[in-house]
Amino acid sequence: MKIPEIFLTIEAVIEGQGADPVVVANRKPSLLKIAQSALEIGQSLIHPDSFKRSLEIISFDVKSVILAGGIIINSTHISGLLRGAEVVEAYICTIGDQLEKASAELFHTDPSLALALDGMANAAIDQLIEKICCEVEAEAQAEGLNISMPISPGSSEWPLEIGQPVLFGAIKPDPAIIRLSDSYLMIPKKSSSFILGIGKEIAKHGKTCDQCNARETCRYQIRKNF
């Protein structure tokens, strides 16, 4: 798969900060100018990259999904979400670390611009995930197949310490580009790991935020859900 290009708007930068662009335009229009500055500074700092592996589903049981190569996803919840899938495509993707470094360097001298750059980074990784999913879905539909929503480690049903080693062990991304910390967080921070189920009978169930333990209080739900 060709790495998608990322092109962002002022509205996407505002949404990446967890705010509504319409409300911001009405109440704090100065933030729109800051978002524009972030776009001018940050676009050249986005360096998307993606690693993938396609894995045939060997079998299901109530509590797990067994994939080719002896890879096992132990989760009753995910086993249910993947019902009807024949293949799992596993992805690890990132926008690199330059944008987050720029945000960190500006935080003490220009916090508003630093936050806008961080929002831009959020929007960039969101767009990268969305473009990957759209491309996979288009290819699947051309073959008469469906895909699941993206399913990521980090929920109570598939904790980071269980899910991340499975995906990183299966995909083996270049550690010079993306790696795991000792606490199973991805480095660079603006990265994502997820799986997509593909098959004739599979259906999308809900949306990505439904998996998150912070879904009741998170202010970032205004960001696009896949």
pLDDT digits (tens, 9 = 90+) for 182-216: 999 999 999 999 999 999 999 765 555 555 554 44
- Local structure of residue 190 (DSSP, 8 states): S
Q: What is the pLDDT of residue 209?
A: 55
pTM score, whole prediction: 0.89
Question: What number is the average pLDDT over the span 143-166?
Answer: 94
Is residue 9 very low, low, confident or very high in pLDDT (cuts 50, 70, 90)?
Answer: very high
**Is the N-terminal amide bond of 188 cis, ω within 30° of 0?**
yes
Indicate the average pLDDT of the chain: 91
Q: Where are the domains of the chain?
A: 10-222
Tokens of 103: 């945000």
CATH 3.40.109.40 fits 10-222, yes or no: yes
pLDDT digits (tens, 9 = 90+) for 24-47: 999 999 999 999 999 999 999 999
Kindly provide the b/e burial profile for residues 139-168, where b requires at least 16 CB atoms within 10 angstroms of the residue's own CB. ebeeeebbbbbbbbbbbebbebeebbebbb
Q: If 0-12 CB within 10 Å is exposed, 13-18 middle and 19+ buried, where does residue 138 land?
A: exposed
CB atoms within 10 A of CB 24: 19
